[in-house]
Chain A
Amino acid sequence: MPVEIGYVAGGAWKRRALYAAAVLVLVFLLLPIVIIILLSFSSGRYLQFPPPGLSLQWYERFFRDPQWMTSLWLSARVSAMCTALSVVLGVLASIVLVRERFPGKTAVYVLILSPLIVPGIIIAIAVFFLFSRLHMMGSPVAMALGQAVLTLPLVVVIVSATLQGFDQRLEQAAIILGASPTRAFFHVTLPIISPGVISSALFAFLASFDELLVPLLLADPTTMTLPVRIWTSVTMQIDPTIIAVSSVLVAVALTVLVSAGALRRSRT
């Protein structure tokens, strides 16, 4: 690995020890994920390591199982709703937060960002209490709303950062050329910040797709999102299919990361 470390000169063995340590930690970070992906292609009956052969059996089981597919579809729907809601609310909020000055702005920031600081279990039970009172247990809408509490701050953080980098003189130019502020926003600002907005949508989708606690507490036996079904399987009776499901989730995360990376590069 052509790693150039400016700091640690001299003592080649020291440098090698350092590299080795770093590589070990890196292996530590990647190994579980690699093992999951590897085992998901195992042709064996149980999860023996190393796998006896390669097969797509677990994926087939996953995609053919009506219950897993229901969960997948539910997860997709809930996450889509959640993402749409949090992106719309978040973009609007970011505009005001970045550009306007008003009393109580700090309090608003605290309110909007605090879900990031509150432990997930607490938000989950808070949302649970609310929806159980509203008799909305098992409702995908409830799950989307609950997850949006978690993804809204994420969107605000990302879109605010994008907006701050946006040169407002472009908006001024649009206005003097005849566009009302609203038209200027849609014709000029939005297209230019769209990579940031899309990025925020990607991460919001990922966060809500991966979310366990909120849909867990809000679930009823017929409405289990993907993570909830994995959880049930892990805690009650292990269905080896989850190895394939896990692998799919890794792929989703990878896709989001790659897309976000590509978006960032397209900006510059």
Chain B
Amino acid sequence: MEQREPELPLAPAADGAVEGRQASRGRNRSSLTRFLLLPALVFLAIFFAYPMIDIVMRSFAGPGGFTLAHYGQVIEHPVYLRVFQITFEIAFTVTLLTLLLGYPLAYVLAGAGKLAAGAIMACVLLSFFTNILVRTYAWMIILGPEGVINQLLRYEGLGSVKLLYNRYGVLIGMTYALLPYMVLTLYSVMSGIDRRFLQAARNLGASDWRAFWHVFLPLSLPGVVGGSLLVFILSVGYFITPRLLGGARDQMIAMVIEQHVELGVNWGFASALAIILLVLTTAGFMLYDRLVGLKSLFESKA
């Protein structure tokens, strides 16, 4: 197999298809191909870009025209600041929990043989792709006062425990919901760690714990950072799970936004909250892109 000619525009390279002819040489084929992009762009412009801009506008729109009152409300009322605080608290805790639970599973998954890895992956994927509503409802069944756990406890005569409509429920439910994201992110990094590094470390005198601590763990950090950031960002925007599993003291931003829209009262305020949430999550993803790269996130979905 010998070397071929240098890159042609038609070789599977990233840049270019059947190269259009120079303008002076007749019709330009590739400019025609570009029009294929239009339907998707037009669609998104109408049903995504415009509505998003609309929200921005509404957040600044008051009875007398442009106003910052909606944003002001967020700062003036401690209630809303508290909501932000709660949101971040929950997001942070969930991130920690998913990390603690996800790391060992990802570790085993990365080192597993074909059959076991396939089975584990199937379980993770099933959880990942099952309807979030169903997965949350399942926890209602398990954690409720008449739920599985309490039934078992009562059967054993151990009294009952309140795990639903409070912080515990939210944390358990959200950890459960976001665990696959953490596992998949960690796994994608861990599976790329060459085991020869660890063999070298062992050979050089490190015990298995030290080899892990000094070699594997640092190498897995990009996955830890990426997974944590991802779970955190997603948690901040969560609605369904905290709404169903939480109590009065577990209000998250998305819930407040939804309330205000559904009650039809203060859409301007809801919009302001939405923009703040959007800014936060976008900042989060930009940080993610800087640290890890968004491209890998999208590629893993494929």
Q: B16–A100 contact, CB under 8 A?
A: yes
Check: A217 CB closer than 8 A to any chain B CB.
yes
Contacts of A254 in B (CB 8 A): 126
B270 to chain A, nearest CB (A): 7
Q: A121–B40 contact, CB under 8 A?
A: no
* Cα distance, A126 to B270, chains bound together (Å): 11
Q: A32–B105 contact, CB under 8 A?
A: no
Number of interface residues of B (CB under 8 A): 101
Which residues 217-239 in B have Cβ within 8 Å of A in the complex? 236-237, 239
Q: A89–B130 contact, CB under 8 A?
A: no
Main secondary structure on chain B at its contact with chain A?
A: helix
Check: B101 CB closer than 8 A to any chain A CB.
yes
* Cα distance, A149 to B47, chains bound together (Å): 7
Q: What mask results when residues 44 to 70 of chain B are scored 1 for a CB within 8 Å of chain A, else 0? A: 100111111011001000000000000
B189 to chain A, nearest CB (A): 14
Q: Sort chain A's interface into a size bin.
A: 35 or more
Nearest B-chain residue to A31, judged by Cβ: B142
Q: A21-B104, A126-B51 are in contact. Are A234 and B244 (CB under 8 A)?
A: yes
* Cα distance, A9 to B261, chains bound together (Å): 56
Main secondary structure on chain A at its contact with chain B?
A: helix
Contacts of B52 in A (CB 8 A): 118, 122, 126
Contacts of A99 in B (CB 8 A): 16-17, 33
Nearest A-chain residue to B58, judged by Cβ: A129
- From A3, A14, A25, name the one whose CB has the most chain B CB atoms within 10 angstroms: A25
Q: A10–B207 contact, CB under 8 A?
A: yes
* Cα distance, A249 to B134, chains bound together (Å): 8
A/B interface sample: 12 pairs, CB < 8 A:
A4-B111, A4-B112, A11-B209, A14-B208, A35-B138, A35-B142, A39-B141, A114-B48, A122-B52, A210-B131, A250-B126, A254-B126
Having A130-B47, A246-B131, one finds 5 other A-B pairs with CB under 8 Å, namely: A108-B37, A122-B55, A122-B257, A157-B298, A181-B18
